[in-house]
Amino acid sequence: MESLALGGVLIAVVGLIAVVLLRTSDKSKARRRDTDRGNAPWSRGEVLSLVGILVGAAIGVAGFVLPDDSSSEEAEKEVSAVALAALVRQGPFTEVLPMGLKPQGLVDVNLGESSAAGRVDALELRASHTDDLGFFAHLEIYPTADAAIRRAEARIETIERIYEEEGDVLDGGPESYCAYMTIRAPIAWECGGTAGLVFAEATVTPNANAYQPIATGTVSAILRYTSEKARLAAES
């Protein structure tokens, strides 16, 4: 966008110079003919130069006003899924988990879902918790952000298909969702979401409303962690 703004300013400046030169030339000719050209109509060349000024100004303004997404897009392109996976595995996981849960590290996890077949890596987040709480959380890293979104969409479709007769058991979309019935059990919260190349999910039992923040907070913590690792991967 900076080059667009610079180009517009350059066009406007050239047009302004042309107008000044043309008007000066016309006035000189008028004095030689002893006629007053000061209030004469604009010539075709002057009109075209004026149009150039207006067009250049518009382009310049657009260059400053329009949002520049090139930097964020370039940063996303520079993130290698393999490099991200290595940094995520390296740890340590120090994000704060909700309601007193204490992170105990990331370990390998096996996934049997076909929609997860394209993953680069997958890890379970272990955490200490009370005996009355069922807890499972994990993350998956994909080659592209679109692949991570598709994985989340497939997970959502699976939940909705299993509990189709129950009606609407899920809120949200692939970027952030929660369901009070999961593919593992009908009495558990499952919340998930995506950030960049990562899909994360947390399942909490029981599915009383008081336990939902544990699931949503855990997913948020995982995605904060992986987003920071993605930033480091892009800089390396």
pLDDT value at residue 76: 47
pLDDT value at residue 131: 84
The CA radius of gyration of the chain, in Å to the nearest whole number, is 30
Dump the DSSP string for 98-143: GGG-EEEEEEE-----GGGTT-SEEEEEEEE--TT-EEEEEEEE-S
pLDDT value at residue 78: 73
Cis peptide before 186 (omega within 30 of 0): no
Tens-digit pLDDT profile for the chain (236 aa)?
A: 555 555 555 555 555 555 455 555 555 555 554 444 445 555 655 555 555 555 555 555 455 555 555 444 444 457 899 999 999 999 999 999 999 899 999 999 999 999 999 999 999 999 998 888 999 999 999 999 999 999 999 999 999 999 888 888 999 999 999 999 887 777 899 999 999 999 999 999 998 999 999 999 999 999 999 999 999 999 97
59 neighbors 11 (Cβ within 8 angstroms)? yes
Dump the DSSP string for 193-236: EEETTEEEEEEEES--GGGHHHHHHHHHHHHHHHHHHHHHHHH-
- CA 148, 149, 155, 158 dihedral sign is negative
- Residue 201 sits at φ, ψ, to 5 deg, of -150, 145
pLDDT value at residue 232: 96
pLDDT value at residue 35: 47
Q: Give the pTM.
A: 0.68
